[in-house]
Structure 1
């Protein structure tokens, strides 16, 4: 059914982009292609990052809704609206299921605190002020172990905002950030891999997961990588937000998600692409 196929929209296509936006970008490119053929225009076309992101999303959606292209051309508008409705219903269901289950399971994937433990069904002790979750959410440029820094963050100091412009420490292997090599261990945290396994394989596989360190030399049980579309759920599960919202204080989840997708899918050059390929190969060892 379209409801079942729609679950892929939020799981693997795009966490935020509306279905209509994906289709609109496809339509825009088709119209542009036809116009360029009529004009015999073969000059290179440059699209924006957002346009490329939407088009990649549409192409990915076709893998799960293969009849969509024909439906766009041959289906009555009222029937097409019903198809959209069912796809959105499936997408919303998948989003809710994943968010709730990962939030509960996260307590088993992060270090145990020395104070009050995290509770699967509660947001208490989570967020930037949480003993366990604070260091994982904290941007790499801030030292949460410094009482003065922690106080300024808690007070909402404008110089210490928690935004999506910086990677949180919790997406690094063992939550260790090396300022001399900012991408060392990036997107290799165990709880990110466990988030992926929990959603796409089974909760049991996430529990059994053990990762090698960034050099691949030994097995460890670190605290704290999935394809780009699952890292947002990882971060949200560490937060103290009572319900899902695209904005959590100064933190913009849409921007965070787009930054991650662009890191993987819009590399600025061959050196950056090599790093992406190496990271994906690292991931393949654990999720394939």
Structure 2
């Protein structure tokens, strides 16, 4: 009995252990199942963390892209601005020298102990002074910039310079053909795209390009120039006829009418103002005021973008010697040294041999300014002339009258 009970007790104990094991197993399984739920939760958390990182990276990339685009936009605006300003350098300051050359040669001039300057050095010095007047911001900006930024500015300016002459030459080639065809009422029209209808092969074009000291009407001269015969080579040592008023020259006074040629003036106005204003240059220019008219147009159309012409962009209100020389170099043909030809014209204006010659140059430049810009002549009045005009005369009279009353008993 006792043995049986012990066995039963052992069995019960075994069952209890079995039950206990069962419960332990169940609990273990439950824990495993619960542990199995932890892995998906962790995966979700990791995924959320990765998405958050990605969003932050995207936001950072968007900020960088915005900054790059903003910087690119600034550089593009800078490029456009510099290009516009550099065009003034070729047209007004120097056709061939770079800004770096003007600055460097000016510095060397002041460092040199030699008091005597060559013609070339004087010409460069005037170019440097013209640069300072035309682009006064250049030296201030340059002094404030780091080297790389300064070099970038020079690069942008050079880009504008490289295209200036080519653009103007291309434009004037077409316009001059139209002007010649219209003025001379040609049957055999000048074709800007056909070399055989331009230059010395064409009778009218040949007349305009013929050296002032030669007579194009002479068959011998005409044949000599066309055949490049000795004594008829067209070089930079001759002023072409198109530079002269009415395209005629006085062999005994080659300065008479020089730089008053109609096509030269038309070319100037087409480049510095507009091609439409170049159509009519027969008047003296006193009845129009190009600068004032453009200012009025800008004010009246304040909400509409008004296109500025070159003279406005570079704040040019007077015709200058170097700008005339620039236009004169656009239309030549032959065995020409354009650089020397440009220097010859510049020297004509800037190196007058005496006082009377200088006065003639000043009168010629004033004539040009009225012709191109139609400016009023207030700037030409002397102090004595201004003093005798009614406004100033009345002011003096009133003052004198007041003083008389004050001094009377």
Contact 2:268 2:327 in 1 (8 A): no
Corresponding residue for residue 366 of structure 2: 281
TM-score after normalising by structure 1: 0.81
Residue in 2 that maps onto 1:187 = 259
Distance 2:324 2:170 in 1: 13
Q: How does 1:1-288 map to 2 (within 5 A)?
A: 1-32=81-112, 45-110=115-180, 111-112=183-184, 114-211=186-283, 227-234=321-328, 236-237=330-331, 239=333, 248=334, 250-288=335-373
Q: CA RMSD for the aligned pairs? A: 2.3
Question: 1:257 and 1:152, CA in 2 relative to 1: closer, same or farther beyond 3 A?
Answer: same
1 or 2 for the larger relative contact order (CA 8 Å, sep ≥6)? 1
Gapped regions of structure 1 (runs ≥ 5): 37-43, 213-224, 240-247
Q: Distance in 1 between matches of 2:339 and 2:214?
A: 22
Following the alignment from structure 1 to structure 2, what is the Cα–Cα distance between the partners of residues 67 and 238? 34
Q: Taking structure 1 as reference, are residues 284 and 258 closer, same or farther at Cα in structure 2, changes over 3 Å only?
A: same
- Distance in 2 (CA, whole Å) between partners of 1:56 and 1:69 is 16
Return the alpha-carbon distance in structure 2 between the equivalents of residues 274 and 65 of structure 1: 28
| Inter-partner Cα distance in structure 2 for 1:232 and 1:7 | 12
CA deviation string 1:138-159 (max 9, x = no partner): 1112222111222222222122
SS of residue in 1 equivalent to 2:196? coil
Q: TM-score normalised to the size of structure 2? A: 0.58
- Cα contact 1:8–1:61 (8 A) shared by 2: no
User: How far, CA to CA, are the matches of 1:94 and 1:278 in structure 2?
Assistant: 29
The 1:195–1:60 alpha-carbon spacing in structure 2 relative to 1, beyond 3 Å, is same
How far off its partner does 1:123 sit? 3.3
Structure number with greater Rg is: 2
Q: Please tell me whether the aligned partners of residues 269 and 275 of structure 2 are also in contact (alpha carbons under 8 angstroms).
A: yes
- The 1:187/1:211 distance shift into structure 2, 3 A limit, reads farther
